[in-house]
Structure 1
């Protein structure tokens, strides 16, 4: 009886024979493609889930698949970025996408993810708030308060030592959502975040770059940076990259914060411009782990589309409490360039509020 006949009558023999043949090939050819495949699978599977650095590295490998799929999607609907429409019109053909579909928040936060603050407009997604609960030197910057400070209030309530530096050149302070018991850990000044310094006595409103503001406050690092500045975020983010990393993000430095919570306003943006901006953020190590389209705005502006979206980014470059275990290395304070230029020292004004703008 032939081996083929035996296998047909007894399927189990066929499985056993196939296993023996595969094992023979694998053992006799350790350097072939099969062996390399199994070696790769084994090495990628060996990682310590308790090691934050290892979890971040694993998330980075997964995020690379998002980059490949984005390019495939551009080719499908472009085929070049300049031919992709931000929000396709509602007529044939009907490509099922918006600009936000090209930039999903697929980076896996290595810790828990919490939505901090009120439901609806105002709340923000944060990665690993537990890493800040007892951090003694926790620093939070928040630009664009507009009286909605439930995020800042809950963050302060759930941490022991965090302090919030809040800035807005329209709102007079943190507003009523912040209990008075938490206000000793807050600091406020009426100014805006800008791409260039413009805060001489005659300038109004007064605009500060992040670098100058940190220098005036004596800070070398920010744990969480919240930015909601109504469309100016593109120029401001480019200025941050220029000041801390290098023009276009080509340098080797790192942005001075652990997380960036930012609302994107893509009014009048074209897809290829937004793509270049986003790829700059990726070059400097920012990875999106959560997003929310602002549906309140979309409801009130139904003819405009879903042009506003909140994104939460983890900074995977440098050293911060969210991507590495153990104490951070000592960071030198930023040079106070504004003092050299004869500008006012923010440390003397950041707690001051005009009499007509006293907080409730």
Structure 2
């Protein structure tokens, strides 16, 4: 319970096995920069969620959530869910609301869309790093909505390539030192590699996943988007305690 920040309750022997698998797989997760087979060769899940479920459309747009029943058991907690990039498709938000009726769901998109009634609240925002363009950082959005002191239980991101700027800016701001003010339990996102065979998108992707791990996130699901398998891939990550990533004893 300590090493998972209260998420998993497991026997010590099984937990040590989970840690061993995580450490072993992580060593194999940065194999090459080869573009055509990048997602085939790199960044496999290191953590198993026994009751992970795919929520939303059966095709493009659905996301995997780790053990959603744990949220359903938190009867004294209002779930806070951010969905970045909807493109007017609210199937994920509808499905989450069906599972978590009391959840507060906020959607953000660069264009103006109207959330379905009693499902979510929509905002127009161009998400990114906020440093070199008209985008807003995630921290700015959180501050504007007054959510600095609340846990974000699910962060879903599909912003067509701007995810690199978004996450790099988020973690650059020192997320590890903000545990009392900003905590994101699960990150579900699609990564978009620039088309072509040059290696820089691969190297930046490696750096991004290193950044996730440095901030205590483990991959629990991976799903290649078959619309463009060389350049699009869905990932789902769960935040754990830093002690999980320490040496196995």
Same fold per TM (> 0.5)? yes
Distance 1:218 1:103, change over 3 A: same
Q: Pick one of 287, 291, 301 that aligns with 2:218.
A: 287
Q: Give yes or no for contact 2:189–2:234 (8 Å, CA) kept in 1.
A: yes
Counterparts of 1:333-344 in structure 2, within 5 Å, are none
Q: Pick one of 47, 51, 60 that aligns with 2:9.
A: 51
CA distance in 1, matches of 2:163, 2:188: 11
CA distance in 2, matches of 1:126, 1:66: 21
Q: Give yes or no for contact 1:114–1:127 (8 Å, CA) kept in 2.
A: yes
Q: Give yes or no for contact 2:35–2:230 (8 Å, CA) kept in 1.
A: no
Match of 2:80 in 1: 139
Q: Give yes or no for contact 1:222–1:257 (8 Å, CA) kept in 2.
A: yes
Match of 2:126 in 1: 192
Per residue, is there more helix in 1 or in 2?
A: 1
Distance 1:56 1:121, change over 3 A: farther
Match of 1:151 in 2: 92
Distance 1:285 1:171, change over 3 A: same
Unaligned runs of 5+ in 2: 1-7, 245-249
- How far is the alpha carbon of 1:197 from its aligned partner? 6.9
CA distance in 1, matches of 2:20, 2:112: 42
Indicate whether 1:117 and 2:56 are aligned. Answer: yes
Match of 1:85 in 2: 34
Per-residue CA deviations over 1:58-112 (Å, capped at 9, x if unaligned) read: 42321111122336xx3xxxxxx5xx3221xxxxxxxxx4334311123112x51
Indicate whether 1:278 and 2:212 are aligned. Answer: no
Unaligned runs of 5+ in 1: 1-49, 75-80, 88-96, 199-204, 246-250, 299-304, 324-360
Task: Answer 1 or 2: higher relative contact order, Cα 8 Å, separation at least 6.
Answer: 2
Match of 2:185 in 1: 258
Indicate whether 1:169 and 2:97 are aligned. Answer: no
Distance 1:149 1:100, change over 3 A: farther
CA distance in 1, matches of 2:177, 2:143: 21
Instruction: Please tell me whether Structure 1 or Structure 2 has the larger radius of gyration of its CA atoms.
Output: 1
Match of 1:106 in 2: 46
CA distance in 1, matches of 2:21, 2:107: 35
TM-score by length of 1: 0.57
Aligned residues: 226
Per residue, is there more strand in 1 or in 2?
A: 2
Match of 1:212 in 2: 140
Distance 1:196 1:52, change over 3 A: farther
CA distance in 1, matches of 2:153, 2:59: 24
CA distance in 1, matches of 2:63, 2:93: 10
Q: Pick one of 48, 63, 66 that aligns with 1:127.
A: 66
CA distance in 1, matches of 2:40, 2:216: 20
